[in-house]
């Protein structure tokens, strides 16, 4: 599944200026994440909202680690590389990520790398039943240099 997604959508996303960060183990895709440099707005269909980002912001999305590679620190390396590139090479002042409120593993991993909650986006519908979708918008900023 993840290989097919990268093959199908990768060329279009790369042509649009997005960056993909991957790690392979023994010739197999183990984890990946996408980074959009200088993103000004994003539409989040699950909560039917559009977000505006401050200047010099990147967004990280579509992160995935294959189950057989989880718990080995592989996704940590992918995320760390993407964040370093965003701040050091792309000049980002912040990197944003939207995470489903029930995805504790993703939220925890992003918090390890300095992401903090920025705001919660909520969608509620009531037509005989209640549907509720919560997306947490997290933001990371460059870490201060040691001794600086």
- Return left, alpha or beta for 66; rule: phi > 0 is left, psi -120 to 50 is alpha, else beta: beta
Mean pLDDT of 10-31: 92
Residue 72 confidence (pLDDT) = 93
The string of pLDDT tens digits covering residues 27-85 is 999 999 999 999 999 988 877 888 899 999 999 998 889 999 999 999 999 999 999 99
Full-model pTM: 0.82
Residue 112 confidence (pLDDT) = 84
Neighbours of 8 (CB within 10 A): 9
């Amino acid at each position: 599944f993840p290989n097919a997604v990268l093959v199908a959508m990768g060329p279009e996303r790369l042509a649009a200026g997005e960056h993909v960060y991957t790690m392979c183990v023994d010739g197999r895709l183990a984890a990946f994440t996408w980074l959009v440099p200088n993103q000004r707005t994003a539409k989040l269909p699950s909560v039917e909202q559009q977000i505006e980002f401050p200047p010099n912001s990147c967004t990280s999305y579509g992160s995935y680690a294959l189950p057989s590679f989880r718990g080995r620190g592989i996704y940590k390396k992918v995320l760390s590389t993407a964040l370093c590139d965003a701040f050091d090479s792309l000049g980002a002042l912040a990197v944003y990520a939207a995470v489903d409120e029930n995805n504790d593993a993703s939220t925890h991993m992003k918090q390890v790398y300095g992401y903090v909650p920025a705001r919660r986006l909520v969608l509620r519908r009531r037509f005989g039943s209640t549907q509720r979708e919560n997306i947490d918008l997290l933001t990371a900023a460059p870490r201060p240099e040691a001794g600086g």
